[in-house]
Structure 1
Amino acid sequence: MALTVNLPFRRREPPAPPHDVAAAALRSDRFRLERETDWRRLEEVVTRLEKNRIRRVSDADLLELPVLYRKAASSLAVARETSLDAATLDYLEGLVRRAALQVHGPREGFGRWMLRFLGGGWARAVREIWLDICIALAVSIAGAVAGWLLVARDDAWYYALVSSDFGDTRQPGASREVLAETLEGTKDADGLATFATYLFSHNSGVAIMAFALGFAFGVPTLLLGFYNLAIMGAMLWLFFQAGLGIDFAAWLSIHGTTELTAFLLADAAGLHIGRAMAFPGDRTLMAATQKAGRRAATVMAGVVIMLVCAGLLEGFGRQLVHVTPTRFAVGGTMLVLWLGYFTLSGRRRA
């Protein structure tokens, strides 16, 4: 005998009577008309601020902006709860979003931020990580010395340290003439812009990697800095033993004083974050890392600027300037400018 199951019958709700729809529309219109004046005033102020026409905004409107913003946000909350018409909801959501950017967003444009950054903000951030700079500098010097001593003892280390991209004809056993040719520039400027762009891309990748590795408590950052300078130490030995040490130093200095300083700051910025994570002190790990991260990020923003300068100096200056004293003069001038900026800029006068 088959069993029958009686399913509950669900009645379909009848559509809302026309008078309920009319009442809802009337309620929506009344809600909008009661507050529309404040909304329009807020929209006008926000539009002028978005167009950088702050001079056309009166002091009264600026002082009233937070109040108008809170009123609009409150109206939006009420509109959502009472399910007002979609057009009012869309308008309020867009208005509140735009006003929030003006009330809680950044107070300055990119140009003003850049002036404040170059006017001392970057230099102060660099001075604040002086301990990390000293540690990174000591490790870098140790790397250069180690590279020199290793290759001097056994030139097989040269091939282990210096890749073929750097080595080419600059190898142990090469004649003085061959090595001297690698230090010569070019008289043709064609293609140097592309070369400078490539150099910036490569150098910025190395710097960003050194910075990013700082999150592993700074140890990989120091190892990378040690290795990079070991390469330079090996190449210094190669040219000094061929009697071209001064020429190589001049060839390197024209861009190296900027580039190596940028790498040093990138290493120090990564180490700064690593030290904050390893030794947060009285603060929580998150608070210590957040503070160190903001400072290190400021330093890295300047590192990018330095690498742009280094790319131009290496791509153009090193290739077009052939005289050793002139190369030293350019490199030395850049070093003095950077040291002077980091030492003096942004200090408040008593």
Structure 2
Amino acid sequence: MNAPAQFRGLRAEREEEWRRLDALVSLCERKSPRALSDDDLMALPVLYRSALSSLSVARETSLDLELVTYLEHLCARAYFFLYGVRTSPGARLRQFFVHDWPAAVRGLGRETLIALALMLVGTIAGYLLVSAQPEYFNAFVPGDLASGRDFSASREKLRESLYSGADQDGLAFFATYLFTHNAQVAIFCFALGFAFGVPTTLLLVYTGAMLGAFLALYGGHGLGPQLGGWLIIHGSTELFAIALAGAAGLRIGWSVVFPGAASRLAAASMVGRGAATAMVGVVFMLIAAGLLEGFARQLIREDAVRYAIGLTMLLLWLVYFYAPRRPRNG
């Protein structure tokens, strides 16, 4: 028997099974697997295996590409309902926070250290340059961000900016503004990574330079420890989030520069999935930093309490991301 004749016999024998499998899968898609009877549930895996067998024969013997495509699509739909993992939104969210996000961050360990090192280099450079030449301060810190906190301000004014509380009605707006600003920095660090990681590197260094400029300004007026408390209450979360965003961007940039056997686009796409998972979590970190910056920092005036909150947040993030975990079952 030649191949076309063999397949015509197979089609005549099994076409009814394909139609039944299609009907059962369609019912599951419209409603749910609970809509199937006990007999249909028992028949579903048998029909699926039969369809797989037919697909194997069809690929070898059939010249009907439309039918082969139909069987491939049918088997894929049936596979989803037989073996696909279907979880509730709550379970999926729990899996993200318990497993997916920490795993993605741990996978960026090398790049995170590089991002932190780049920010540290920028901080040291900004501090040294502004300490030696105060006019560099305006080059590193935009006027809107400085808001009068520059070398023309008195020590009393600078100290007041560290401890004056915003009015209650303005706190929410202030938190929203700062969250938007920090989110833009983090998103740019991530999104610009595809350009070989160069813009991400420059942005991380520049972020550190702004921090160094503020340290030089307040340290020069004898307010270094007070500025540390003002910064750390939210900065331990905020700067960590920016470092993770930069790490994700650097990972993508590295894959573009050294794609291996894959194309640059394929390599960037492959590593981008894990980096994107980390970035989704970074958004939650920025929300927390925005709340700490807009509320806790304005309401808490004691330096010791500010340091305690900031260091506690840093410890919590480190434990959450890097503490050993039991391997996942399955």
Structure 1-normalised TM-score? 0.74
SS at match of 2:162: coil
Q: What are the residue-to-residue correspondences of 1:13-162 with 2, within 5 Å?
A: 41-49=24-32, 59-60=41-42, 63=45, 66=48, 107-162=86-141
CA shift at 1:347, angstroms? 4.9
1:189-217 per-position Cα deviation (integer Å, ceiling 9, x unaligned): 32322322222222111111111110011
CA shift at 1:173, angstroms? 3.5
CA distance in structure 2 between the aligned counterparts of 1:336 and 1:210, rounded to whole angstroms: 24
CA distance in structure 1 between the aligned counterparts of 2:182 and 2:37, rounded to whole angstroms: 46
Q: 1:342 aligns with which of 297, 309, 321?
A: 321
CA distance in structure 1 between the aligned counterparts of 2:229 and 2:159, rounded to whole angstroms: 12
CA distance in structure 2 between the aligned counterparts of 1:200 and 1:54, rounded to whole angstroms: 47
Distance 1:97 1:63, change over 3 A: closer
CA distance in structure 2 between the aligned counterparts of 1:113 and 1:275, rounded to whole angstroms: 30
CA distance in structure 2 between the aligned counterparts of 1:35 and 1:121, rounded to whole angstroms: 38
CA distance in structure 1 between the aligned counterparts of 2:226 and 2:175, rounded to whole angstroms: 22
Alignment pair present for 1:253 and 2:236: no
Unmatched runs of 5 consecutive residues or more in structure 2: 1-15, 59-63, 68-73
Deviates more, 1:104-113 or 1:283-292: 104-113
CA distance in structure 2 between the aligned counterparts of 1:64 and 1:189, rounded to whole angstroms: 66
Q: 2:191 aligns with which of 212, 224, 231?
A: 212
1:278-334 per-position Cα deviation (integer Å, ceiling 9, x unaligned): 112344434422221112111111111111111111111111111111111110110
Which residue matches 1:201? Answer: 180
Alignment pair present for 1:228 and 2:175: no
CA shift at 1:145, angstroms? 0.4
CA shift at 1:276, angstroms? 0.9
Amino acid at match of 1:49: S
Q: What are the residue-to-residue correspondences of 1:256-295 with 2, within 5 Å?
A: 256-295=235-274
CA shift at 1:66, angstroms? 4.7
Post-superposition, which runs of at least 4 consecutive aligned residues in structure 1 deviate over 6 A? 33-37, 54-58, 67-70, 95-101, 103-106
Q: 1:166 aligns with which of 122, 145, 170?
A: 145
Q: Does structure 2 retain, via aligned residues, the 8 Å contact 1:46–1:98? A: no
Greater Rg over alpha carbons, structure? 1
1:47-68 per-position Cα deviation (integer Å, ceiling 9, x unaligned): 3438xx6999885266368579
SS at match of 2:168: coil
Distance 1:62 1:153, change over 3 A: farther
Distance 1:63 1:103, change over 3 A: closer
How many residue pairs get aligned? The number is 304
Identity of aligned residues (%): 44
Q: Does structure 2 retain, via aligned residues, the 8 Å contact 1:253–1:332? A: yes
Distance 1:295 1:169, change over 3 A: same
Alignment pair present for 1:242 and 2:221: yes
Q: What are the residue-to-residue correspondences of 1:179-190 with 2, within 5 Å?
A: 179-186=158-165, 188-190=167-169
Q: 1:178 aligns with which of 157, 179, 185?
A: 157
Q: Of Structure 1 and Structure 2, which has the larger fraction of its residues in helix? A: 2
Distance 1:157 1:64, change over 3 A: farther
Which residue matches 2:286? Answer: 307
Q: Does structure 2 retain, via aligned residues, the 8 Å contact 1:162–1:231? A: yes
Alignment RMSD (CA, Å): 3.7
Structure 2-normalised TM-score? 0.78
Amino acid at match of 1:307: L
Unmatched runs of 5 consecutive residues or more in structure 1: 1-32, 82-94
CA distance in structure 2 between the aligned counterparts of 1:127 and 1:340, rounded to whole angstroms: 11
CA distance in structure 2 between the aligned counterparts of 1:329 and 1:103, rounded to whole angstroms: 52
CA distance in structure 2 between the aligned counterparts of 1:144 and 1:65, rounded to whole angstroms: 65
Deviates more, 1:271-280 or 1:198-207: 198-207
CA shift at 1:340, angstroms? 0.8
CA shift at 1:134, angstroms? 1.7
